[in-house]
Amino acid sequence: MSRPRGSGRRWRARTRSSSRPDPGGDWPLAASLVIDNLAIGQILEPHGGQPLAREFAGMPPGQAWTWPQPHLICAALALSDGQHGSCATALDAADRILERVRADQQAGCRLAAAMIRLAASLRSGDVTAAATAAARAEVLLSQVPDDKLDRHPDIRTRVVCGRGAVELWSGHFDETARVLQAVTVGQAGSVSQGEPAHCRGQLALAEAPRGQLGRAVKLAAPAVGSPRPPVAGPCPAALVALAWVHLQRYELREAGSRLRQADAALRAGPDTLIEAVAHLVAACGAMAEGRAAVALQIIARARSGSRVPAWLDHRLILVQSRAHLAAGDTAAALAAAGQAGGEDWLEAAVTLAHAQAAAGHGDHGRRVLAPVLAAGSRAPDRVRAQAWLADARLSHGSGDHSRSRRSLASALRLAEPEQLRLPFAMERGWLRPVLRGDPELAGIHRRLLASALHRAQLPAPADTPDQAEISAVKPLSGRELEVLRHVSGLLSYAEVASEMYITVNTVKTHVKKINRKLATTRSSEAVRRARQLGLI
């Protein structure tokens, strides 16, 4: 039963000619061509102008096929149309037939079944089932002969992307990057190849939550095209990742535009998990606009469907706490912040400190913040920046202005490399008068603060260089400016190299050129000079 009728000369001729079938009414044969050529992914997630799924538009569903291949095609078609019940029924029918087949036969069918289950689980938000299906697909893929994989390399890419998606939704961002890196490297210009573009979107969605905003933009931008109009079939994960970046940089209009594009893409291809992240970004955006009640409504919608992953629920709890705080419900804010914890306890501690401060418990807030501030580089820069900003607020409220300035300077320094503006925009009420009285600190971080606090409400730059001085400086290249921004964030040369995916020697070469152009001798001096000239 390993192959349906149509074997022999007719079968071999069709198989050699193309992986695209010409059914002519022989649906089992056509289905076998797709399965044997490892092309099930082209039906699950068609990319390009002529999707393979169209070839099966006339295939009658619900037939009592005696071969597994047509049932698998029916399952993939049903899933592509959002008919999860019909997909499960067709898969069950294929399984019953495969139970009568020897384990060393029909490997292609079993691999196709695992891929369909993986896609169905991810779209419905069942991460546990997706992990099982991904592990099954990886085992079956290892049993496919190398020469066949060489002829159909896209199946390996699809399995890797599936594993990466499982790691992403499990909250294992470092593992997501490790798994997907091999697929996405060198694919920046290959957005027409749908699966690499989809992988780039997933990887961008792993980088954005951990504060790697520039990296997320580099990964996501090629997969979605320009904001107006969006390219046909943009990647929803990439759109949501870009919305996240724009929000964190306090570019609210751009964030809203990307969220609207993501909403349209998700209507065309529903995905429960990506939609939940989009709700998280939308809730944060509502908070940034001062609409706490709307933020709470969006959070409720995010949880109204299937159960969201633990890491995402943790982020929703943190936003919920801040929304309650903005609405004046301190008790609810404290209760929500107290629910957060787990691996991201550092960020939860910052949220709890804000709630304690609002409740008038400044001493409690400092005690909560102390472990975060002591964590140093073990905590992500985005969390450390928020922690120092919270400490600055607590110190300012208690009258310790010297400590407040030191903490605020630390927060600004950590936020500079990724232009993380949202935390400062959320604290603009007390920051504006503080910075108006501190022209030096405001001037150093003017680029970061200008949009978050509105340029007109910042003091004029203390030492504005004249035009002749600026003209005398040799212009820095885009790459040199990027190096300088990383160096200004107190990154070591090794860390800069890792961020920019270049060697340490290349970083040193860029720094030498920067010093020569700015007439400086050390990188710290170059940073000060660049800030005076308004270059960074």
Higher-pLDDT residue of 532 and 456 is 532
Contact 169, 122 (CB under 8 A): yes
The residue to which tokens 């340029």 are assigned: 455
Q: Is the pLDDT of residue 389 over 90?
A: yes
According to DSSP, residue 327 is labeled T
Higher-pLDDT residue of 212 and 524 is 212
In 361-376, which positions are buried (b, 16+ CB within 10 angstroms) versus exposed (e)? bbebbbebbeebbeee
Q: Is the pLDDT of residue 241 over 70?
A: yes
Cis amide leading into 309 (omega within 30): no
pLDDT at 270: 84
Q: How many CB atoms lie within 10 A of CB 507?
A: 24
CA distance 237 to 244: 11
pLDDT at 226: 44
According to DSSP, residue 458 is labeled S
The residue to which tokens 């997969």 are assigned: 223
| DSSP codes of every residue in 22-75 | --TT-HHHHHHHHHHTT-THHHHS--SSS-GGGGGTTPPTT---SSHHHHHHHH
Highest mean pLDDT among 16-30, 321-335, 465-479 belongs to: 321-335
What tens digit of pLDDT does each residue of 59-113 get?
Answer: 877 678 888 999 999 999 999 888 889 999 999 999 999 988 776 668 889 999 9
What number is the average pLDDT over the span 247-274? 92
CA distance 183 to 197: 9
Contact 423, 288 (CB under 8 A): no
Residue 473 class from Cβ within 10 Å (0-12 exposed, 13-18 middle, 19+ buried)?
Answer: middle
Q: How confident is the model at residue 10 (pLDDT cuts 50, 70, 90)?
A: very low
As given in the structure block, the two tokens for residue 469 are 């001085």
**CB under 8 Å to 466, separation ≥6 — which residues?**
none
What tens digit of pLDDT does each residue of 13-54 get?
Answer: 333 344 455 554 588 899 988 998 888 888 887 554 446 777
From 250-259, 360-369, 466-475, 505-514, the region with the lowest mean pLDDT: 466-475
As a whole number, the mean pLDDT across the chain is 83
According to DSSP, residue 180 is labeled H
E-strand stretches of 416-528: none
Question: In 3D, which of 181, 188, 186 has the Cα closest to residue 202?
Answer: 181
User: Domain coordinates of the chain in residue numbers?
Assistant: 9-48+59-152, 467-532
AA identity, residue 34: V
Q: What is the separation of C-alpha 221 from the centre of its chain, rounded to a whole number of angstroms? A: 12
CA distance 344 to 357: 21
pLDDT at 15: 37
First-to-final CA distance of the chain: 68
Q: How confident is the model at residue 195 (pLDDT cuts 50, 70, 90)?
A: low
Measure Cα distances from 118 to 163, 199, 233, 286, 320 in Å: 9, 15, 21, 34, 31
Contact 143, 134 (CB under 8 A): no
For domain 467-532, the CATH architecture is Orthogonal Bundle (1.10)
Q: How many CB atoms lie within 10 A of CB 202?
A: 29
Question: What is the Cα Rg of the chain in Å?
Answer: 27
Contact 109, 68 (CB under 8 A): yes
Query: Could you give the angle at which helices 478-488 and 493-500 cross, rounded to 10 degrees?
Result: 130
What tens digit of pLDDT does each residue of 429-439 get?
Answer: 899 889 888 88
By residue count, the chain amounts to 536
Measure Cα distances from 268 to 81, 88, 233, 234, 271 in Å: 9, 21, 9, 10, 10
Question: In 3D, which of 260, 251, 246, 175 has the Cα closest to residue 208?
Answer: 246
What number is the average pLDDT over the span 358-386? 89
Q: Is the pLDDT of residue 457 over 50?
A: yes
Dihedral angle sign, alpha carbons of residues 470, 475, 478, 479 = negative
Question: In 3D, which of 179, 186, 115 has the Cα closest to residue 144?
Answer: 115
Dihedral angle sign, alpha carbons of residues 96, 98, 102, 103 = negative
The residue to which tokens 């501190």 are assigned: 438
Contacts 24+ apart (CB under 8 A), 228-236: 228/257, 230/261, 230/264, 230/265, 231/191, 233/47, 233/194, 233/265, 233/268, 234/261, 234/265, 235/197, 235/198, 235/200, 235/201, 235/265, 236/201, 236/262, 236/265, 236/266, 236/269, 236/271, 236/274, 236/278
CA distance 293 to 439: 36
CA distance 185 to 351: 36
CA distance 188 to 200: 8
pLDDT at 230: 40
User: Which alpha helices (DSSP H) does 60-153 contain, by range?
Assistant: 68-80, 84-98, 107-124, 127-142, 146-151
Contact 318, 348 (CB under 8 A): yes
Q: Is the pLDDT of residue 9 over 60?
A: no
AA identity, residue 346: L
What number is the average pLDDT over the span 482-486? 85
pLDDT at 467: 46
